Structure 1
Amino acid sequence: MKKLLPIIAITLLSVSACSGQSAPVKPGIYRAVLKTRGGELPFGLDIQQTAGDAKTYAVFVLNGTERLPMDPATVQNDSLHIPMALFESELVAKIDGNRLRGVWRRRRTAQQSQTMPFEAQHGLTYRFVADEKSTPVNLTGKWATDFGSKSGKVDTVNAVGVFDQKGNHLSGTFLTPTGDYRYLDGNVVGDSLFLSCFDGSHVYLFKARYNSADKTLTGGQWAGVSGYDSWVARFDPKADLPDPAKLTYLKTGSKTLNFSFPEPNGKTVSITDPRFKNKVTVVQIMGSWCPNCMDETNFLSPWYKLNKKRGVEVVGLAFERSPEMAESGPKIDRMKQRFHIDYPIVLAGTNDKVQASKALPDLNAVVAFPTTIFIDKKGQVRHIHTGFSGPGTGKYYDQYVEEFNRLVDKLLAE
């Protein structure tokens, strides 16, 4: 995952509510914005009334081609509440005709929350600009990127931008050694790039200016409530990242991944359990709070249903914000329900990478959530893949799925 943002306690903004009849929400597409320090961060909302229930709505967040379902939304007095329980966040807004006005807030601890002003207008579908004016700049391709550049040049390639531009519409993402930035969507206006993403957890706004003389982009990234980083990118069709199979590895002398952790129901799961004997086992190091883990789980859950009869098993090792089962157990259960997960997910510890590494002493380090470990029929670790290229990365996701299946097929054939 990307580097953690500073957690800031902010007094919760309240959304006004009055007694009496609930205000109706006009169904349809909304152009939503969060008011960030870098300016407006736009995204789409599709709000549809649930059949037979005037106070409940199905809501999808729209980022490019992604339609991300939120939890069922409800009207309470004059306000619409759109929860995303998986990420402990919600949009709460007063209904005002064709507009919604309120806040996005995300719980960080029992005493701390992050909040940001939120607005949405019905009937608007554009991202940053309403017109489709042509632009002389085309940013399609791969970009060697340096987040946090101190010199204003690409000194270190710590990400690769992959963009696709049609007219003035721009989509794509950034690949990093530990995961991707999911679905980014936006526009090119004149010589400037604008991209954004909101998924209930990720809150990203990117801006940059293109220099045609040296084919570089120079700009800033605003993340969450207070995060900011400068970035520079250079057009480079050959831009690449370190091998994800070489970042996390077994320590000298270790051959397997020893673990024994509890499920929310109290049952202890160990790699030595009979269910894993003589099976190819995929171990998912993950967390319910992690959007990239959500993308991987969205792949693994149906994959397991299709393949478990072939002699494969999957187990998730969840590293949560709290080590207490009373707090983290329900989050694991919510994730299992949301993605219809049939394989066990255990509480392995906290999502601090140092602590996660201590919980799995056979590994040199846990450097990313998710990390995927492949164990053969003899119980020996054969491959470790750091990070996950999700569906927002396009062909890189397709390549990952192909390599995943090829590796499992090879281990099953042994």
Structure 2
Amino acid sequence: MKSLCLVFLAATLLAGCNSSTTSGSGAAGATSAAALLTPGPWRGELATQGQKIPFLFEVKTEAGKPVVYLVNKGLNGEERLRCDEISAAGDSVTIRLHVFDAALVVRADGQDKLKGVWVKYDSKTPYRVPLVATAGAQSLFNGADSKDAASFAGTWKTTFTDGKDSYPAVGVIQQKGADVVGTFLTTTGDYRYLSGSALGSGLRMSTFDGSHAFLFEAKKEPKIKVTAANNEQTGLPRALAENAYRGELNGDYYSGKSGHETWTATLDPKAKLPDADTLTYLRKGESRLNFKFPSIVQGSSISPTDPKYKGKVVVLQILGSWCPNCMDETAYLAPWYAQNKARGVEIIGLGYERSSDYQQAASRLQKMKQRFNIGYDLAVAGVSNKDSVARSLPQLAKFLGFPTTIFLDKKGVVRSIRTGFSGPGTGQYYEEEKAHFNRTVDKLLKE
């Protein structure tokens, strides 16, 4: 049985990796994909960690071929991630997921029903998560009733913990009846578009963008002061135990195949995170970044000392094509650059990819460049972990996460380093993020 499973997995991965056309090779493939993917709304469900993570998508027919849109709702409205690389092989269809190295591999399971797997190709060991999907307009979560739904609207001072370590976050939730949308902001980014329902005193929110599948669950409970006597019942980490409060919300956060954390939150309209401009910094005595990385254009390299950047304000974007927050920042920077490059500003994207192989890494970044119509330069800088960034940019004393944005003045001196990016799923925080970026660049351009 194990050998059969391995053969099936290899065939599935091969089918996904060889998907280079939008609807398979030849008319038979196109017909099969179109027949399997009924146009209209769909509801999918990922089965992982004993939980079910629901998501919504829509199938449309464009130029005679099926196109899938992942649909996520949030504080700034609706996100629709276009997935147009769809291929058919035998009785299965592979849907490559936007810019990410991942896919849905599905087959028919009755009338207007699909069964299959979500495959993450870019993991150290590619893994699969079972899924089912049903055609028709449906809610993410069933059973919500506005009559008995508790109110979860507001700004929440939040703490996540994996059992050992904890980190702060700010939760923002809007609610209409039993329907909720929101997100959580952390020091290294946000959890993007979250939506779901209030079910009595319970809250459930989920999202699926192709790279990440998240499920947040919580119960609303009375705020209780933590003491040594009751700490065993609070679930708070030891460091936060005494003289603190167990939050009004207490719940679980599930991520993908195995990620799990608990979280607690207290309503606090003044909740905020540490200043994003103070978290990443240079080593003492350093003022510049010295690097020379291969460009995604084979045979060329990129350095901030290149003549192209002389006398210009330069923005360094530390990113990865696998990173949804980096995708959000890129979706903003690409059109911004097109509109502002004539002012004397350049952007360099430093890509840290899952693969250490140059060709594979450059290919992933090329796909990102095409998807977002990126006009600025992209380089292959390393692999996607903090140690790789530390080795390739040794002038940095501390690096926390992707994305990180570094601003260089016209002399090449590092003037500001900003950790994370509050994307379009964060509502007003996204507007503040864009305003901060423009203020920083404007100030350096005036010097």
Provide the TM-score with structure 2 as the length reference.
0.84
Assess if the C-alpha contact under 8 Å between 2:102 and 2:122 holds in 1: no
Show the 5 A alignment for 1:258-297: 258-264=290-296, 265-297=298-330
CA RMSD of aligned residues (A): 2.2
User: Counterpart of 2:129 in 1: which secondary structure?
Assistant: strand
Tell whether the 8 Å contact from 2:149 to 2:177 is kept in structure 1 after alignment: no
1:324 shift after superposition: 1.9
Task: Answer whether contact 2:144 2:199 (CA < 8 A) is retained.
Answer: no
Superposed structure 1 runs of 4+ greater than 4 Å apart: 10-15
Instruction: State whether structure 2 residue 94 is matched by structure 1 residue 51.
Output: no
Q: Does 1:254 align with 2:286?
A: yes
For 2:115 and 2:385, locate their aligned partners in 1 and report how far apart those are by CA, in whole Å: 35
Equivalence for 1:103? 117
- The alignment of Structure 1 onto Structure 2 pairs a total of residues equal to 396
Q: Which residue does the alignment assign to 1:137?
A: 150
Q: Which residue of 1 aligns with 2:102?
A: 89
Equivalent residue for 2:424? 391
Cα 1:131–1:312 change in 2 (3 A) is: same
Residue 295 of structure 2 aligns to which amino acid in structure 1?
E
Inter-partner Cα distance in structure 2 for 1:397 and 1:109: 29
Instruction: Quickly say closer, same or farther: Cα 1:347–1:150, change in 2 above 3 A.
Output: closer
Which amino acid in 2 is paired with 1:188? Answer: A
Q: Identify the residue that residue 4 of structure 1 maps to in structure 2.
A: none
The correspondence for 1:73, drawn from 71, 86, 101, is: 86
Structure 1 residue 82 displacement after superposition: 1.0
Distance 1:218 1:160, change over 3 A: same
Counterpart contact for 2:162–2:260, Cα < 8 Å: no
Q: Is the 8 A contact 2:149 2:198 kept in 1?
A: no
* Residue among 21, 27, 51 paired with 2:39: 27
With the length of structure 1 as denominator, give the TM-score of the two structures: 0.90
Instruction: Give the Å deviation of 1:85.
Output: 6.1
1:180 counterpart (190, 209, 212): 190
Tell me the CA shift for residue 256 of structure 1.
1.5
Q: 1:406 to 1:342 in 2, by over 3 A?
A: same
Q: Which blocks of at least 5 consecutive residues in structure 1 are unaligned?
A: 1-9
Secondary structure at the aligned position of 2:287 is classed as: coil
Structure 1 residue 166 corresponds to structure 2 residue 185:
no
Q: Distance in 2 between matches of 1:347 and 1:150?
A: 35
Q: Which of 266, 274, 298 matches 1:234?
A: 266
Assess if the C-alpha contact under 8 Å between 1:182 and 1:391 holds in 2. Answer: yes
The answer on 1:193 being equivalent to 2:206 is no
Per-residue deviation, 1:132:
4.3
**How many angstroms does 1:27 deviate by?**
0.3
Describe the shift of the 1:125–1:212 C-alpha distance in structure 2 as closer, same or farther (beyond 3 A).
same
Distance 1:363 1:242, change over 3 A: same
Is the 1:149–1:232 Cα contact (8 Å) retained in structure 2?
A: no
Q: Tell me, what secondary structure is at the counterpart of 1:134?
A: coil
Deviations 1:276-301, CA, capped at 9 Å, x for gaps = 11111110011111111011000000
Matched, 1:325 2:358: yes
Change (3 A) 1:103 1:213: same
Q: Within 2, Cα distance between the matches of 1:123 and 1:240?
A: 40
Secondary structure of the corresponding residue to residue 345 of structure 1: strand
Stretches of structure 2 that go unaligned for 5 or more consecutive residues are 16-27, 225-246
Return the alpha-carbon distance in structure 2 between the equivalents of residues 148 and 60 of structure 1. 33
CA distance in 2, matches of 1:136, 1:173: 19
Task: Say if 1:349 and 1:355, in contact at 8 Å, map to a contact too.
Answer: yes
- The more displaced of 84-93 and 332-341 is 84-93
Match of 1:62 in 2: 71
Counterpart-to-counterpart distance in 2, 1:68 and 1:135? 34
**Contact 1:38 1:205 (C-alpha < 8 Å) held by counterparts:** no
Q: Which residue of 2 aligns with 1:127?
A: 140
Name the residue aligned to 1:5.
Answer: none
Q: 2:406 aligns with which of 373, 376, 382?
A: 373
